[in-house]
Amino acid sequence: MFGFGKKSPPPALLKAATITSSAARWPTATAAPAGDEWPRPFDFSTAIEAIKLNPYHAGCVRIKAMAAVGLGWRLVDAPTGEPRPDAYDAWTAAWPAGGFSTAIWTLALDLETFGNAYVEAIPLAGGAVALYPIPAVTVWRTQHGYRQRTGARQQDWPAWDGTARGVYALGLPHPEASAYGVPDWLPALNAILMDAHASEWNYRFFQNNCMPAWAIVAQNAALNAEAEAAIRDFFQAQHKGSLNAHKTLLLSTGNGELRFERLQTDAKDMSFAELKRFARDEVLAAHGVPPRLLGVIAAGQLGGGGEMTAQLQFFKDCLIAQRQALLADWLRPLLPEGLALKFTEMDITDPQTDATYLQTLVQSGVLQPNEARAELGMGPVEGLDEAALGRGL
């Protein structure tokens, strides 16, 4: 299919798209596009803000990307699964902007953050191709291909067909979106925003010298029009919301006695600590990441080692294995014919369990000693298999 060529100069550096704090939008996938662009299923700037606002969300994105692609990779012969180390250098050279390991980490982060990943494919002389990750936040789907917006500039590309320069895309499937993928965490967006407002509320409390919100009232005097206008403006515009928490209102009515009145009562339906725990649990559930991987251990739910192993097994088999298969299948058309990509799987067992298991397999004749060493990532020892046969192992 496609071979590999010499390194070519990277395309122009990409400027980060302008980030706003606008709320998430949910146009349907079948909505008429704006101009020739398909609307995104949510505002990508919200995804960036969510990463910056919530440590559990940011941690889940990193953990999922690391578990899927960050533990290592190898090229194998597609029909037999035999390793092909001879193709490593050529595959790395096909990704001029830092090699494949850097590129796949960038693509995995984009996939978990935005639900989409994009590669620019540039055919070179001799049938080779140069591959560059494109930041997902800058890419829009159009009726005729893809558009990258970088500030005031934009660049249009067709979908890559293997013959001309174009964009090769991957999106996480979702019933609503057809032109774009949708990330796993999106159902927890409200929880992330709610946690951010709670944190902002507490921050304002300490910023205002830990004083609660009060009104200063002048007694024994009539309020003038200016004071009434100040009260109205304060309650309608300056007192609502977490950004205005714990502000103080000063009223002046001329001569008279001052009295302090509290403007708010303590929240009793749900404390901030409970609110933040609820938001944290929503984020972890949406991502499907075991809480203990982020250091979360709830009182009364400690469980034993078996519970943790079961959670990790589910995480590995039902989420990470699916991600690895999705990425490997997506990248297969970019590989030379006959090669396949394999990502290193998570090892959720302890070394003692592994050693006992492999010893049993060797003693029962299922594995040769050198095969067991290979499972542990160790090189073969000459004559070891023959010696084992001589001892009856």
Q: pLDDT (tens digit, 0 to 9) for every residue of the chain, 393 residues total?
A: 333 333 333 333 222 222 333 333 333 333 334 578 888 888 898 899 999 999 999 999 999 999 999 999 999 999 898 999 999 999 999 999 999 999 999 999 999 999 999 999 999 888 789 999 999 999 999 988 999 988 778 899 999 988 899 999 999 988 876 789 999 999 999 999 888 888 887 777 777 655 555 666 666 666 667 766 776 676 556 655 555 555 665 555 555 555 656 665 555 445 678 888 899 999 999 999 999 898 887 655 555 556 778 888 899 999 999 999 999 999 999 998 899 999 999 887 767 777 788 888 888 888 888 888 887 777 788 877 776 665 544
Can you give the pLDDT at residue 29?
38
227 neighbors 253 (Cβ within 8 angstroms): yes
- Nearest C-alpha neighbor of 19 from the set 51, 46, 42: 46
The pLDDT of residue 392 is 47
Say if strands 145-150 and 153-157 run parallel, antiparallel, or are unpaired.
Answer: antiparallel
Q: Are residues 68 and 149 both part of a single domain?
A: yes
Query: What's the confidence (pLDDT) of residue 317?
Result: 92
Cα–Cα distance, 293 to 64 (Å, whole number): 11
pTM: 0.72
Q: What is the pLDDT of residue 340?
A: 95
Judge if 189 and 254 occupy the same domain. no
Joined together, the tokens standing for residue 300 give 């009364």
Separation between Cα atoms, residue 244 and residue 222, nearest integer Å:
27
Q: Do 310 and 184 share a structural domain?
A: yes
pLDDT at position 151 is 78
302 and 178 within one domain: yes
Sort strands 116-123 and 129-134 into parallel, antiparallel or unpaired. Answer: antiparallel
Is the domain of 274 the same as that of 363? Answer: no
Q: How many Å apart are CA 312 and CA 314, to the nearest integer?
A: 5
Q: Which residues of 317-326 are buried (b: 16+ CB within 10 A; e: fewer)?
A: eebbbebbee
Structure tokens at 18: 């302008």
Cα 36 to Cα 38: distance, rounded to the nearest angstrom: 7
Please indicate, yes or no, whether residues 235 and 201 belong to a single structural domain of this protein.
no
Helix, strand, or coil here: 121? strand
**Alpha-carbon distances, residue 326 vs 60, 323, 331, 332, 340 (angstroms):** 19, 5, 9, 10, 13
Q: Residue 313 is part of which domain span?
A: 1-210+268-348
Residue 204: its pLDDT value, please? Answer: 73
Instruction: State whether 243 and 311 are in the same domain.
Output: no
- Token pair of 102 as six digits: 């850097």
Q: Are 124 and 198 in a shared domain?
A: yes
Cα angle 129-131-136, degrees, rounded to a multiple of 5:
150
74 and 131 share a domain? yes
Cα–Cα dist 181/173, whole Å:
5
Q: What pLDDT is stored for residue 305 in this prediction?
A: 56
Q: What angle do CA 263, 269, 267 make, to 5 degrees?
A: 25
Q: What's at 177, amino acid-wise?
A: A
Helices (H), 81-223: 88-93, 99-114, 189-207
Residues 225 and 341 in one domain: no
Tally of domains in the chain: 3
Same domain as 39, residue 124:
yes
